[in-house]
Structures are given as C-alpha cells and as structure tokens.
Structure 1
C-alpha cells in the first residue's frame, strides 16, 4: 500500500512503498478499486480482455491488425509556434502495456502515431508522459517502450518522460543511480532534442521548453521522489527562466475522490509547500499514479490559481489503451479546453471494437472533458515581441517582389526602395500634393511582421493629396500575368479617423485600366487590378482576370481601425481567396478567375487610379509587401514561420 506518512522530509521529499493494486485517498487505508473488480471478473490483462474482435499481441509485436491510418508514415514535427491555439498532449501510466510477457504495445504505438498524424491539425507542441511507463522496470520492458518512442525521436517531436514508482526502486529518491529507466530515457536520449533544456546531475529530473502562441513555456519533469539536491536543481531552473509560464509534471501530487475532487497526497503536500506554492510561474501541475482522475484549483503564496490535475486510466479496460489527454490552449480566449480520447480504440473499425472498447473511445464528464480559464497576459505579461527577421527568411520559392521599409524610422521617404527578391522591381516615390511629409518612415509595425518598420501615408482626395511608390517602367512585375496562381501580402493599419474622405484610397494597384488590357465589361476605366478600401474600411480585391471580361471581386469584413492587420490574396490558378490575419473571409467569388490582365504598366504601392489618373494616396500605414507567383498556404504567409 502507499505510505504517505513522511512528515520530516529526511531525503527532502522521501520515498515510499507502493502497491498499484490499491486505490489510495491520501491515507493508509486500502480501498477497493475498479482494477480489483475487473481482475476478479476476469477482464483485466491482455489474455482475458482479448476477444475475436480485438486479438491479443505480445508487447514486442508490430501492428499488423491496426488500421492503415495508424500505420501512416510519420511526418516531421513542425508546429505553428505563433498560433494562439496549440495543444499539449498528456499521457499517463502505460505500465500494463509493458508488463513482462503480458503486455501489448499496439495501443501506445497507435497513440504516438496519432499524435504525429494530427500534429499539424491539432497544432501539437509537446507531449508529457506522467510516469509508470512499465510495470516492473525491467530491461526488456524498457527496451520495448524505448523502441516505441523512437517514432517521436525520428520525427523530431518534443516530449518529456519521468520515472514513476514502477519504473525504478520506489523506495529510493533521484540519487538512486543507474536503472533501466535512466539507460532508456536519460539525458543521452534527449541530447539532440530542440526542446530539451537539461537534466539534474543524477539524470532523473529534466526540463523542456516549447514555444506556443508566440511565447515560450517550461515543462518541469520531476522524478518520483526528488531529493533535496533535485529540488534545488529544479529551483535553479525556474530562477534561470523567470519569465516563462511553468507546468510541473511528476508521477504523484494529488489523488481524487470518486466525485472527481482532487486533494494533495502527503507527498504532494510537501512538494506544494516547499516548491510549487513558492513559485508563482507554476500555473498547472499534472500527475498520474492514482485513479480516478480529478482536479482542483489551489491558491499559491502569491494569491494566484494553480490548476492541479490527476489523470490515470490504467484501471480501465485494456490497461487504459494508452489513453491521452489533449490540453488545447487558446490564448485568444484565455482558456484551456481538455479532452480525453483513446486513439487505439478510436482508430479501430467499428466492427473490430468489442462492447468494452466502445466505452473507451472517448471519456466525458467533468473530470475528463472540461475547460479552465487562465488570463495568461495578466498573469505572465504579454508575450515577448517577435524579433525582426532578415529578408532571406521570407524569400520563399517563387517570390517575384519583396519590399520592406526599414531603411529609416522617421523623416520623409526618398531614394530607391529595393526589391529584395533580386528581380529588379524597385520602387521610387511619386508625389501628388502636400509636401514631403505626406510619406514618411515609421517604426510602427505588425507584431508578426518580418521588418519592424513601415511607411506612413498621409493621403486624401479633392484635391488629390499625398505620395505613393511605383515600380519603374519596364520592371519585370509590370508584365506578369500570374496565370498559375499568386499570393499578394501586406501589413496594414488604418488611423482612427479613417472614413469617407479616404474611401478607395488604394493599397496596391496596377497602373493601366481594364480597357488598356483589352477588357470591355463593367467599367473599363477601373484599374486592371487593385487592393482597395471602402469608406467603411472593407478591403476589396478587384481585378480583371485573364479569363473574364468583367471585374472579379473579393471582400473582407469591416476592419477595426487603429490596429495592424495582415492581408493576403491567394489565387490557386482558378479561384482567389482573401485572408485577414491568416483567416479566410466570407465573400470570395466562386467564378473562376485565372491570372491578371495587364497593360504592362507600373504597380503602385499606396495609391489608386481611375482612367490612368492617380486620384489619391493611401491614408494609413503599410508594412512589408510580398508578391509570390504561386498559391501559398496560410502557414507560409509572412505572419507564419
């Protein structure tokens, strides 16, 4: 049975004996568990659980019976680190799957492959295993599970593991020395992992840093029983990373009542008092070890919430089937949505699931499917600004023109603005009226913009006022028809007083009319192509395509004023879609629009013309502008990467 009565911390947070056959509630009284009931009913263990619909397999077996989707080739690990929505995967006790000759690796294989297959759609940034990887801590058990985790290593996935009481001698702390666990999942395994920060000298405690939502997060993976030296090391890690939000993972912190209310165990109370409560950056703790799952919210020494969660499914059918939890962080909404699924049972065809497997596909209820709020910006401060990026980092294949405006931070614009694509589509200034200060350099910029600078346009109409930029006569871009598709991007900010006086002021326009390009439909005096703004700050992409005699348009919603936006128009060779901050807008024409008509005249940046007469210049700020001769995916936009 568990013994939590160790009040003096002789070894800092000392070891205790353990028997996983008992469900503990933080005292020394053994209680009946579902595991005991299942074992008594003859349903626990691979041999007893297997049916004709779910054949048993030894722990070292491959997956010949698994669905094809579960055997898909794993791709590379490349989460979108800027997306405010990302997923942390949590995997608790897998010990019954690696129990001498009684295990079955297929559920774990299925979960790991699902993580890799869904990494892009779920934007999975990290996996935390909560210990008790194996039942007996033997060499052959660790050889089997170590081999299974190689699929993550090959993909470059970011993950952490830690030792549970079944993985090592549970009567020892992290100064125990060598073990099969350490040989399999010690520092040598993670030495080349990009997220790996380091380990304590004993090798049993480690920390990892992943990036999500534009900021870094620290995962502290603590041993079953950290010694005084281990805790001092953990404190030094937090001291060296004072700005990072912290998630503490360890095998035991809390247990839960049958109603799902979590309580600190005796060991957990010591860890809380001596470490967790004192470090305000810790906002979430995760542990396995006990069942049923549960959660609670505790208040730390700084008066802030710490979410304490226990997740463990080894007591359920098929040893929990390598059940995983998805912690879906949503920084835009300030919350974390939690879901619990079994990829193994989920991936089996319905005809291969027996009636017990059907119950394990997904777990619901308030302890397995829930949300909790965290005001990350208030608690931890705004995410650090993204550093500027060099031009070469955004010169994707097919880039036709790339202009950025970081030559200065103030004063009137003059001289040549080079096309950094190397294609010679350079820009020069052209004036309407109003003087040199109608077009100035600025250090204002979109937070995800490669260059930390922009141009401030002070344009108007009646009379035409302002200044703009234009490509030279004969620039290669002037003749481009882009029939195979294109992506046009820029960053835009409109002043708070933008309105009727600035309607249709022009963001990016092709000089030359539809009529000049041989078009007779609609109004042939309109530009051959134009990204424009209505008086209500709606974006309009209005062009004469090569395959139409009329104007094709895409419309955004009304853009709130006084903030930066990223705008993209993507044409795949047949249809155009407008994106605002990487999100597709509603009003995109379904009529095929192939290429762009052209009269071979210059492109204008920050101006609009009608009948080849420039009527006004932009009123607002423009950041980097990029034109690519093919369709890009949103993650390839300049706000990505």
Structure 2
C-alpha cells in the first residue's frame, strides 16, 4: 500500500511526467505511446544526462533492462527532452562484447534519430592513454560513423574520440561538447576551435572527469579538472555548465570564469547505489521564461516497476537530496550577453502609437540623459501637455533606461519620497481636454514602470504613477473615503499596482490589485475598462484581483492629472520613486494585442 501511495503521489506531482503514464512504462494495463514529440521552440525543455552505467555491462554480469527503460522513457515521454548526454563509463571493461551489448540498447535512439552523445570513460578504453590511443572497441561502436545518425551531431576531432553537437531548445541553438576521458593538447585545441567557430552559442561541456565531491556535496576541481578549467573553460565565457561522472558521491559548485561570470560544475554518478545505479538519469529542465534550470534525478526503470519494488529498489526511485534535486537560477539573457546579446528592437515612431481614440501619448526621448525636465508635450495632438511641479525638492530627469518592449528608448527618473514629502512630478496643463473627460464608454491606460532596489524602505508606499489631483468628494462621491483621489494608479508598500477609482455608477471606490513586483525590473501595466468592468494587466497578463462589480467610466472632479505624483485631499503628499517610460491614454478598451508591448 505504501508503494501505491508513493506511485500516486509521483504521478500527481508530475515527477514521472505524463509521458510515463502513457508510454508503456507504467504497467501492463497501459498502452505504449508514440515517441515523445520534441518542441524546439518551447521555452521549457529538458536535457537528459546519464552517468556511469558500467556495472550494467560487466562481462557476463549486469543487466541492460534498466538502461533500456531509461532510453524508452527519453523517447516516449512528453517531457520535451531535446537531447541525451551520456557521461562515460558505459561499460566495465571496454570489451567488445560489453560494447556490443550497450550498442544494441542505443539502437532504439538511432532508429528514431534521437539527438544524443556519448563519450569514453576510463573503463571504456585503456585509462593510461589519451584521445590519441587509436582504434578501440569503443571507437568502433560509438565513433563518428554512428554519431552521424544523431541529427544534432556536427563533427568529431581527427582521432574520433571528441565530438560536438548542436541541438535546439527554447527557440535557440545550444552547443554541447562531448570530450574524451583524457583529451590531449590537440583535443583541447580542437574543442577551443569548435567554440571559436560558433561564437554566439552557449556551451555545455560533458566530460568524464572534471570535479569531485566530498560527503557534503561541495564539489571541487580534480587535478585533471584543473587542467581542463585552465586550458578550456576559464577563457571561454560561452561555457556555462559542465557535467561529469566518474567520481561519487554527486556534488556541485560554482566557479567564476575570467569574464567574471558563473560557471556551474556538476558531478553525477550513482554506480555505487543499488543495482549499479538503476540507469538513473538527470533531467535538466531548462525554463528560459523563469530563468532557471530545475534538476531532477530519477530511475525510469524503477518508476515503471512501482509498486512492485523490493526493499532496496524503493530507495532508488528518485534521488531528492540537495545534490540530486535542486534548481539553478540563471538570468540567461544576462549570462549570455557577452557573446549572444539579445538585439534591442529599434524605436517605433510615435505616429504608430496613435491608435483611433488615443487621447494622450507621452514619451521622453527628446532630451539627453540627465537633463532636467521642464515640460512634456502630448504627442497625440490632443493638447494634453504636462508641466513640471515640485514638492519640497526632488529631481526629475530624462534617462536612457527603458523597457526593450516599449516604443521609445527613454524614460523619466523620479526621486520622490513620503518621508520627507518631496518629489518633482508632472501635471496636465489647465486647458488639457483630459481634465474634463469621464470615459463613460471605456478606456485603456498604459505605462511602463521600473522600481529601484530601495523601493521598499518605507518611504514610498502609495506613490502615484498616474493620478487625479481632485478627490472623490470633488466628483460628488461620499462613499468610502471621499478625500481619496478620484482616480489613482499607485504602488503599495509591497510594490504592487493598485488601480483605485470612483466610477460613474457607484458611490464607493473600485480597486484592482496586481501581485507584488520584482524590483529593478521593467513592468508594463494596463487598465482596461469596457464601459462595465475594469481589468488590470501586468505584462499583458490579467491579474487575479480584478473586481466583478460593475465600474463604468471615471468620476470627474474637474481637476488635473498627475504623472509621478499622489495627492490626498487635493494635497500632493509625495512624488514617485523610480522610472516611468511611455504612457498612453485611449478612450476605448484595447485588446492585449494593441498594447504598446513590442
């Protein structure tokens, strides 16, 4: 019963992956599915890593069944596995019979033309030799001729023991080096030349020996690993991840290369575990959207056998210790910026932003960075120009910081605070048509916003991005607190957007709330009213705290609008703290596809 519960839990949490449930690996009652489909454009993809399988192929001992199960899983799961890398020590002695046996297991990948790589470990060849050793049973079985069956294979060193592969995942190409147990000086030179020939590709280095770990899981370079680091990794900023087997226990560390960037070095090996490690695989689940690699270690063979497991097998279904089940946060765009910078789209002309119904459009690309703001012209042509106002000091300057998605390449930097009250802000001129509008038929208000790292220091809660100077009372409202502004897009002390308004059809305040925002990051916010309901969007995504209560238009107090200022009871209490990019007001509801997001 315990096993069955464990099985149900794994299925429910997705640890097995839906592919196991339908791949023929789950049990006799299941039906085998077709090979798993690879989606190379999906920002979530997986690289499967298989360490030492030598005890499963040991002369007349061993058992290929666990490996066969792992390879079937790789083929049939819907995990979106885009590549499989074996880390060497495929066999115990490197004998022709051992290699022939494991070679037959890999034929399933060949038939499906699944992208994979293998490399020689010290047990697959004469460990006293380097990649200039000449012909071996390993080379006959897994040399360039066979490697060419993989669609990701791009070439090998002249000796045949080192290879490189290019696979696609997350909409981009990745280069994987599979290096010999002991690459010679010419082998290292070859690897450097491959990287030089592909200067814009991120690189994963697989090799049998690189780092080892103590019982605490803290890895460090082996003596040979120090050479590889010095001669290959440290100078090549493209290498961001190294994977090796050979030693046990598993472990990991992070080293800084000569460019000052992190390189993640992982060792994974389970041959010391029950049943030779049960052909465990590491699933490196890349998520480019979240900026993380989630690492899981599982045995598909044992997962498929559950719940009919013996006492020792139950301990090996998956490994969940700190060195086997963890996440590696990586800002991929920043980490790869030195060799593969994401191109910044050119600015979009202001005229392209003037959709039908545009009432106001402000952008801040008409002055040099650091220049003090005096006034801002409304580019919609409607006359909703802005004038500078000052509260107890605080600067307002043009900035070249911008969200790459916004139309212009500029913003305004505000330095306001609540304690003490200060901040320069902008206010619509007295003659602005915007001051007289109630948007009874609907509206869309958009802005790009970035908050600095010190935003949550207690001095900036409820600072306004875009607000009215007039109050609810000025608009004839008596519910809630009529001294609150009639309209405000503000930020809570937890750095969450709040859209708080007195609508035309109610006497009380209607509010929309976002989640708390990451600081030091650009965000796009939009509030859209269709004449009946208001929906807030952050980065084009609707938030959960959008009210179902009807909210028609905006009660009009007959006063100015404030950009970067917040007023209570007609008194400006504080200025905004952070950056504001392009701002647009449209007198109709817009679909997300028409937002200013590029």
Structure 1 residue 622: deviation in Å? 0.7
CA RMSD in angstroms comes to: 7.0
Structure 1 residue 532: deviation in Å? 2.0
Q: Which position in structure 1 is the counterpart of 2:449?
A: 491
Aligned mates of 2:157, 2:445 — CA distance in 1: 48
Which ranges in structure 1 are unaligned for 5 or more consecutive residues?
Answer: 1-61, 120-124, 154-159, 419-423
Structure 1 residue 315: deviation in Å? 6.4
Structure 1 residue 106: deviation in Å? 3.7
In the alignment, structure 1 residue 592 sits paired with structure 2 residue 561: no
In the alignment, structure 1 residue 116 sits paired with structure 2 residue 79: yes
Q: What secondary structure is seen at the aligned counterpart in 2 of 1:233?
A: helix
In the alignment, structure 1 residue 454 sits paired with structure 2 residue 411: yes
Aligned mates of 1:78, 1:560 — CA distance in 2: 26
In the alignment, structure 1 residue 146 sits paired with structure 2 residue 110: yes
**Residues 128 and 390 from structure 1, CA distance in 2 versus in 1: closer, same or farther, beyond 3 angstroms?**
farther
**Residues 90 and 400 from structure 1, CA distance in 2 versus in 1: closer, same or farther, beyond 3 angstroms?**
farther
Q: Which position in structure 2 is the counterpart of 1:63?
A: 23
Indicate which of 246, 249, 253 corresponds to 2:206.
249
Query: Structure 2 matches for 1:161-176, cutoff 5 A?
Result: 161-164=117-120, 173=131
Structure 1 residue 339: deviation in Å? 5.0
Aligned mates of 2:215, 2:416 — CA distance in 1: 67
Structure 1 residue 513: deviation in Å? 7.5
Aligned mates of 2:235, 2:570 — CA distance in 1: 64
Q: Which position in structure 2 is the counterpart of 1:22?
A: none
Query: Structure 2 matches for 1:561-572, cutoff 5 A?
Result: 566=523, 568=525
Q: What secondary structure is seen at the aligned counterpart in 2 of 1:531?
A: strand
Q: Which position in structure 1 is the counterpart of 2:39?
A: 76
Is the contact between residue 544 and residue 596 of structure 1 (CA under 8 Å) also seen in structure 2?
no
Indicate which of 580, 587, 590 corresponds to 1:622.
580
Indicate which of 509, 512, 517 corresponds to 1:551.
509
Query: Structure 2 matches for 1:181-200, cutoff 5 A?
Result: 181-186=143-148, 189-190=151-152, 200=157
Structure 1 residue 189: deviation in Å? 1.6
**Residues 490 and 199 from structure 1, CA distance in 2 versus in 1: closer, same or farther, beyond 3 angstroms?**
farther
Structure 1 residue 272: deviation in Å? 4.2
Q: Which position in structure 2 is the counterpart of 1:531?
A: 489
Structure 1 residue 287: deviation in Å? 1.8
Q: Which position in structure 2 is the counterpart of 1:27?
A: none
In the alignment, structure 1 residue 293 sits paired with structure 2 residue 252: no
Is the contact between residue 528 and residue 536 of structure 2 (CA under 8 Å) also seen in structure 1?
yes
Aligned mates of 1:298, 1:533 — CA distance in 2: 37
**Residues 415 and 190 from structure 1, CA distance in 2 versus in 1: closer, same or farther, beyond 3 angstroms?**
same
Aligned mates of 1:273, 1:448 — CA distance in 2: 38
Is the contact between residue 536 and residue 546 of structure 2 (CA under 8 Å) also seen in structure 1?
no
Is the contact between residue 255 and residue 310 of structure 1 (CA under 8 Å) also seen in structure 2?
yes
Task: Report the TM-score when normalising by structure 2.
Answer: 0.58
Is the contact between residue 457 and residue 467 of structure 1 (CA under 8 Å) also seen in structure 2?
no
Which ranges in structure 2 are unaligned for 5 or more consecutive residues?
Answer: 1-21, 92-97
Is the contact between residue 324 and residue 341 of structure 1 (CA under 8 Å) also seen in structure 2?
yes
Q: Deviations over 1:174-232 (max 9, x none)?
A: 776886553454497227xxxx8x765677422669999xx999754323553543221
Query: Structure 2 matches for 1:251-270, cutoff 5 A?
Result: 251-253=208-210, 268=224
Structure 1 residue 469: deviation in Å? 6.3
Q: What secondary structure is seen at the aligned counterpart in 2 of 1:232?
A: helix
Q: What secondary structure is seen at the aligned counterpart in 1 of 2:131?
A: coil
Structure 1 residue 238: deviation in Å? 5.7
Structure 1 residue 542: deviation in Å? 1.2
Structure 1 residue 144: deviation in Å? 0.7
Aligned mates of 1:354, 1:433 — CA distance in 2: 76
Q: Which position in structure 2 is the counterpart of 1:441?
A: 398
**Residues 372 and 145 from structure 1, CA distance in 2 versus in 1: closer, same or farther, beyond 3 angstroms?**
closer
Is the contact between residue 113 and residue 150 of structure 2 (CA under 8 Å) also seen in structure 1?
no
Q: Which position in structure 2 is the counterpart of 1:275?
A: 231
Structure 1 residue 541: deviation in Å? 2.5
**Residues 286 and 624 from structure 1, CA distance in 2 versus in 1: closer, same or farther, beyond 3 angstroms?**
same
Q: Deviations over 1:107-153 (max 9, x none)?
A: 33435666736x8xxxxx98654246796258754431234674xx7
Q: Deviations over 1:233-285 (max 9, x none)?
A: 2234566899999753113456789998989889x469548735875867864
Is the contact between residue 205 and residue 230 of structure 1 (CA under 8 Å) also seen in structure 2?
no
Indicate which of 64, 70, 86 corresponds to 1:107.
70
Is the contact between residue 477 and residue 507 of structure 2 (CA under 8 Å) also seen in structure 1?
yes
**Residues 474 and 339 from structure 1, CA distance in 2 versus in 1: closer, same or farther, beyond 3 angstroms?**
same
Structure 1 residue 362: deviation in Å? 1.9
In the alignment, structure 1 residue 409 sits paired with structure 2 residue 371: no
Structure 1 residue 531: deviation in Å? 0.8
Q: Which position in structure 2 is the counterpart of 1:54?
A: none
Q: What secondary structure is seen at the aligned counterpart in 2 of 1:623?
A: strand
Indicate which of 270, 278, 281 corresponds to 1:313.
270
Q: What secondary structure is seen at the aligned counterpart in 2 of 1:189?
A: coil
Aligned mates of 1:69, 1:624 — CA distance in 2: 55
In the alignment, structure 1 residue 229 sits paired with structure 2 residue 186: yes
Q: What secondary structure is seen at the aligned counterpart in 2 of 1:507?
A: strand
Is the contact between residue 329 and residue 335 of structure 1 (CA under 8 Å) also seen in structure 2?
yes
Aligned mates of 1:545, 1:185 — CA distance in 2: 67
Aligned mates of 1:277, 1:495 — CA distance in 2: 33
Q: Which position in structure 2 is the counterpart of 1:32?
A: none
Is the contact between residue 296 and residue 308 of structure 1 (CA under 8 Å) also seen in structure 2?
yes
Q: Which position in structure 2 is the counterpart of 1:508?
A: 466
Indicate which of 388, 397, 408 corresponds to 2:344.
388
Structure 1 residue 521: deviation in Å? 3.5
Q: How many residues align?
A: 528
Q: Which position in structure 1 is the counterpart of 2:13?
A: none
Aligned mates of 2:385, 2:478 — CA distance in 1: 31
Q: What secondary structure is seen at the aligned counterpart in 2 of 1:235?
A: helix
Is the contact between residue 51 and residue 268 of structure 2 (CA under 8 Å) also seen in structure 1?
yes
Q: What secondary structure is seen at the aligned counterpart in 1 of 2:387?
A: strand
